[in-house]
Structures are given as C-alpha cells and as structure tokens.
Structure 1
Amino acid sequence: MDELLERVRSGYERLGPDEAGAAAAQGALLVDIRYAELRTRDGLIPGALVVERNELEWRLDPQGSHRAAEAVSHGLRIVVICDEGYASSLAVESLHRLGLHRATDLVGGFQAWRAAGLPVDA
C-alpha cells in the first residue's frame, strides 16, 4: 500500500492545512469524504462539501447527471479531505482520471486540519 500511495502522490502536489485553508479562501472546493460516524464524532470543516467516498466521482464530474451544484468545471480546484490523508490520495487519483487535474488532498487529513487550529463546527 505504501508503494501505491507513493506512486499516486508523485503525480500532484499535496497541501498542508494552512495551504488548504488559503486555497479555500481563494475559491477552492474543500470536499470532506469522511464517513458519517467520523463527521459526527469530530465535527465538520465550515464550507466543505460533504460527499461520501463511494459517490465522489458521480458528484464531482462536471458533466455528470448526478453532479453537485459546486462541480462547475474540470478546472475547479478541489481539495479532498479524509480523516488522516490516506484515502484522500486514492480519491484524488480517481478524480484526475475524470479530468479534474487540479484536484489535490490535505496532508494528514481532517486530523491535521483540526490540530492546526483551523475552524471546525461541532
């Protein structure tokens, strides 16, 4: 698994918590793919779009019939956030295959966001 993650991550630049916050302030879409139990336990990032991992590609494909309203173009900057920054890397690879080449993820995931003191809604 480590080799797979290394290969996947070599194809894009990941963001730290402060960089992800700055990207969101500049219009990037934060996408929280954590499952419901983690969101309930730990809270939500204000303004993040919550999309279950098994629906991610369907909801973010700008040409898809089931797309989220926020999925406006293939040029959209997307920051995928899971709990610790592992599943999000694999999700980004899938989004790149859909043509969403500006997608990236958050190093350390939600846990790093919270540890950095960035906003969280309970």
Structure 2
Amino acid sequence: MVITKGFKDLLAEANAVVDVVSVREAMDMLEDADVAFIDLREREELVQGTIPSAAHVPRGLLEFVADPESPMHNPSFDPAKQLVVFCASGGRSALAAKTLTEMGFQRVVNLVGGFQAWSEAQAPIDPLRDV
C-alpha cells in the first residue's frame, strides 16, 4: 500500500483554507456570548485544564456532534456562533476547522498554537476536569 496523501499534506491543505485566531484575539472573545470554544483534545488531555467555558468534543466525534441531525448533537455547534476550535498544538483543530467548514459552518477559526500556546501566554484556564 502506498499512502498518496499523508498527514503533512492534509494539514497543509487545511491550513491553506481555514481562518486562524491568535491567543490574544481569542482571549478578547472569552466573554462574547456569540462565540463558542471547542476543545478537541482527548479526554486524558483535560487534566491540563481547558479554556473557560469550552465544550469538550474529542476530534474523533466531531462530525457526529456537530451535525444537528445526529442523536449525538451538541448545541455548542450553533451555526450562528463564531466557533473557536483548539487542540493541544493546532494540528487536529486545523483539520477539524476544515471539516466544519466543509459541513457548512461559516464562522470557524483555529486557535494558533492550540492549548499549549494558550497556557504559555498565561491565559485563563479552568482547572483539572474530572476525567
């Protein structure tokens, strides 16, 4: 078997089409009711904390949770809201932002550097989540 498109190719394609937001810009969005933060990390990663009020949706469930017709739908995926997606460093969330855009969400941005950049900037963090 020959892989014709690897993860680097997929990430490059995603990064070429998704909008991004810096940690500073995202911090300014924290109190905006028109913005939903989506944490795409795995459950085990939540021991590091998360961005305040972020909905947790592991990347592997994204399509099921984002689709309003799915029994797994999470109302955080409101097409009227600005969605700020993030993972640990920005790779999974770039792919997720591309997927959400392909699904029809028009206001999706990827947090540059992910939760790692958020932490390094000493931005607000909700403490350890019960995992």
**Secondary structure of 1:79's partner?**
strand
Structure 2 CA distance, aligned partners of 1:20 and 1:62? Answer: 25
| 1:118 and 2:123 correspond | yes
- Which letter maps to 1:112? A
| 1:80 and 2:123 correspond | no
Structure 2 CA distance, aligned partners of 1:66 and 1:36? Answer: 17
State the aligned residue count: 120
CA shift digits 1:14-36 (9 cap, x unpaired): 11111112233222110001111
User: For structure 2, which runs of at least 5 residues remain unmatched after alignment?
Assistant: 1-6
- Conserved? CA contact 2:64–2:70, under 8 Å: yes
Q: Determine which structure has more spread, i.e. the larger CA radius of gyration.
A: 2
Tell me how far 1:84 sits from its aligned partner.
Answer: 0.5
- Conserved? CA contact 1:76–1:100, under 8 Å: no
CA shift digits 1:48-81 (9 cap, x unpaired): 0001111112212244442112233x23210111
Which residue is 1:70 aligned to? 76
Which residue is 1:37 aligned to? 44
Structure 1 CA distance, aligned partners of 2:17 and 2:94? Answer: 10
- Conserved? CA contact 2:18–2:94, under 8 Å: no
Tell me how far 1:83 sits from its aligned partner.
Answer: 0.2
Structure 2 CA distance, aligned partners of 1:77 and 1:21? Answer: 14
Shift in CA distance, 77/63, structure 1 to aligned 2, threshold 3 Å: farther
Tell me how far 1:9 sits from its aligned partner.
Answer: 1.5
The alignment-based identity, stated in percent, is 32
- Which letter maps to 2:29? A
- Conserved? CA contact 1:31–1:78, under 8 Å: yes
Task: Map 1:94-105 to 2 at 5 A.
Answer: 94-105=99-110
* TM-score for both structures, normalised by structure 1: 0.87
* TM-score for both structures, normalised by structure 2: 0.81
